[in-house]
Amino acid sequence: MRMLGATPVRVLDDRHRDKVLEILDADPVSNVFVSSRVHAVGLDPGRLGAQMWGYVRDGRLTALCYSGANLIPINADAEAIRAFAERARRQGRRCSSIVGQIDAVNLLWELLGPYWGRPRAIRAVQPVMATSRPAPVPPDPKVRRVRVDEFDIVYPACVDMFTEEVGVSPNTGDGGVLYRARVAELIRAGRAFARIEDGRVVFKAEIGAATPYACQVQGVWVHPELRGRGLSVSGMAALVDEALRSIAPTVSLYVNDYNAPARAAYRRVGFEEVDTFMSILF
């Protein structure tokens, strides 16, 4: 990697890919979202859909901050967070959320809050959970990968899940163009799973990010009329078993601390808490 010079924070590019992946993959579960993007497309901002900021101390790259639709500090101590916050403050808010390990996000928000205004929501404690073992409970044999021709069946469930979880519809703003494209991409990639009966989604979830070392589950949803029957446990068991077999050796997710039923369900499937995130939503 070439020397980065005296500037503490600068935009990285593909020349720094190996060093960036070394930092990201040192914590493959917590960094899976950003790592999956860099593994897939590198660091060119046009392909990445974001800038990767690097923090340099004594000529060495020590911390990162993914600056796109999400602002995500990585491996950043207080000194690096202050430098990232100053750059983010100068350019103005361009992200829809700040997310990452709790101490880093908490300090970043303390520094940016006075300038960026009141957020729509703060998810102050979000346990990160992971498993590398097949589920200890029976999987639902009817959970399978979603086919491309089932997009119109699955998409309304994805919208309901997103709206329920985030508080706004993904169809707001651009009419759902970006969200539809993302759901279609996951289906094509074989990373959308569901149990579909009589044209109705009973259970669904997606693998939103994947690297050679870990993958991350998102969008876990059970039809409201069928909740309380254990479908999320057996459905997640099926997803975990298949993800371990064909996607990555560790399966992870993060969940709001107040969602006790979900946390209990994930523990039954074998997930254990390994880190804690915090999210600021705008």
The predicted structure's pLDDT at residue 7: 67
Q: Which residues pair with 145 in a beta bridge?
A: 193
The predicted structure's pLDDT at residue 6: 52
Strand residue runs (E) in the chain? 9-11, 51-57, 60-67, 70-74, 97-101, 121-131, 144-145, 192-197, 200-210, 215-222, 251-254, 272-281
Longest CA–CA span in the chain (Å) reads: 62
- Mean pLDDT throughout 114-142? 97
In the chain, residues under CATH classification 3.40.630.30 are: 131-276
- Mean pLDDT throughout 104-112? 98
Instruction: Quote the pTM value.
Output: 0.92
Q: What percent of the chain has pLDDT over 90?
A: 92
Q: What pLDDT, in 10s, does the model give residues 188-219?
A: 999 999 999 999 999 999 999 999 999 999 99
The predicted structure's pLDDT at residue 168: 87
Q: Which of 275, 276, 270 is nearest to 131 (CA)?
A: 270
The predicted structure's pLDDT at residue 165: 86
Residue 5: pLDDT over 60: no
- Tell me the CATH number of domain 9-117, given options 3.90.105, 3.40.630, 3.40.50, 2.60.40: 3.40.630
CA–CA separation, 21 vs 165, rounded Å? Answer: 30
User: Structurally, what CATH architecture does the domain formed by 131-276 represent?
Assistant: 3-Layer(aba) Sandwich (3.40)
